[in-house]
Structure 1
């Protein structure tokens, strides 16, 4: 059964080893992420995006070496065995593994990764199918959405500055803050995590019972939202 939903950004700056002196700029974001993930039980399904569909299972081990530091993460407890070599995990799975280790080290996660180009209607259908799968599970299941907003919000943003990005980010932030699944269903393509947010919309049907905003902002020009939905 679906227990709770935590929404966090797909932001490598959450990992202190990767931020250096910039860590103070994301302290509030990191604290909000810890609070959101604390709401989840010990069985997670993650939702994220990458160029191709894939699934990262609980046995997966990954590393942030591609981001400059070999910080290794797991999607489940080690149980005493030696970990295998790190897999080439997408960023959303790496961050799910990192927050698991920081907040819920006893948790086990499976990450469903959806392609950036997935059509909105199909993403909504995938969310409904995922909800049906979760509802067949007797134990409490938490959903962790790991996805970004718009990456063109400041001159130093990864996508450069585009003034038309701010309205799209506001639409996303307000939809997540208010549990507005209809607004999520019509997100524009420029929202980087659009398929993940639309899978979330399909997962929640008519919407969550409650939605709590813990953070919204744009550190380094990328829209980040953190919140908790109660289904």
Structure 2
């Protein structure tokens, strides 16, 4: 049963070593993520599950490791429990593992990568399955909003991006599973929304769980929508 969930963005720049001289620019975001993860752990889950975007569907149940080598930083991370079994964690899941390392938790942790083109119903069903893995499950869901908020954004400026992110922030803050389940797949693709698939896994996991939401952060410092939310 899902007892708590946290939504965090997953830009590699969240890791200070990657951001280097620009690290201070995301201090507020890092603090919001740390507070959200602390609240997730305070719910006393028996099992943590990371969910994030990945190039292919993969699951890690006995440990897993990732790195930030591709960004020119000699920094490796591991899931809290187990060794480095299985393939390397996707970049999004590596950020999640880094967040958990900062928290100091040693809880059993699984990870699940979901490709951006995964059909909605499959994602919702996956979420239901993850929520049934233990009596008390906590999710850490990694994903970014639109990448088209400014002319300097990765996807350039798209006038639809800001209202999309505003509605997304509302849905995440309200723990609105129906709104997340109903995200427009094609619009998300056009706006380069990397969090669509992970958020729909969350929607499936939280259906019927009676969780309430709290939005901790919503901004677009680099023209990309970043959100932090806690569901309890």
TM-score normalised by the chain length of structure 1:
0.88
Q: Aligned with 1:89: secondary structure?
A: coil
Is the CA contact 2:65–2:85 (under 8 Å) kept in the aligned structure 1?
yes
2:68 pairs, out of 64, 70, 74, with 64
- Give me the whole-angstrom Cα distance separating, in 1, the residues matched to 2:97 and 2:122: 27
Number of the residue aligned with 1:168 = 164
Tell me how far 1:8 sits from its aligned partner. 0.4
1:91/1:218 Cα in 2 relative to 1: closer, same or farther (>3 Å)?
A: same
- Give me the whole-angstrom Cα distance separating, in 2, the residues matched to 1:206 and 1:175: 16
Task: Give the aligned length.
Answer: 222
Number of the residue aligned with 2:225 = 223
Number of the residue aligned with 1:153 = 149
Partner deviation per Cα, 1:1-49 (whole Å, 9 max, x = no partner): 4331111011111100011222121111000000011122363111111
2:138 pairs, out of 129, 139, 142, with 142
Number of the residue aligned with 1:124 = 124
Q: Aligned with 2:222: secondary structure?
A: helix
Structure 1: gaps (5+ residues): none
Tell me how far 1:58 sits from its aligned partner. 4.0
- Give me the whole-angstrom Cα distance separating, in 1, the residues matched to 2:128 and 2:59: 17
Is the CA contact 1:63–1:86 (under 8 Å) kept in the aligned structure 2?
no
1:229/1:208 Cα in 2 relative to 1: closer, same or farther (>3 Å)?
A: farther
Number of the residue aligned with 2:88 = 88
TM-score normalised by the chain length of structure 2:
0.88
Q: Aligned with 2:39: secondary structure?
A: coil
Q: Aligned with 1:3: secondary structure?
A: strand
- Give me the whole-angstrom Cα distance separating, in 2, the residues matched to 1:89 and 1:60: 6
1:178/1:72 Cα in 2 relative to 1: closer, same or farther (>3 Å)?
A: same
Moved more, 185-194 or 92-101: 185-194
Is the CA contact 1:180–1:207 (under 8 Å) kept in the aligned structure 2?
no
Q: Which aligned pairs between 1:165-204 and structure 2 lie closer than 5 A?
A: 165-189=161-185, 190=188, 191-204=193-206
Is the CA contact 1:63–1:70 (under 8 Å) kept in the aligned structure 2?
yes
The alignment's C-alpha RMSD in Å is 2.1
Is the CA contact 2:149–2:223 (under 8 Å) kept in the aligned structure 1?
yes
1:86/1:98 Cα in 2 relative to 1: closer, same or farther (>3 Å)?
A: farther
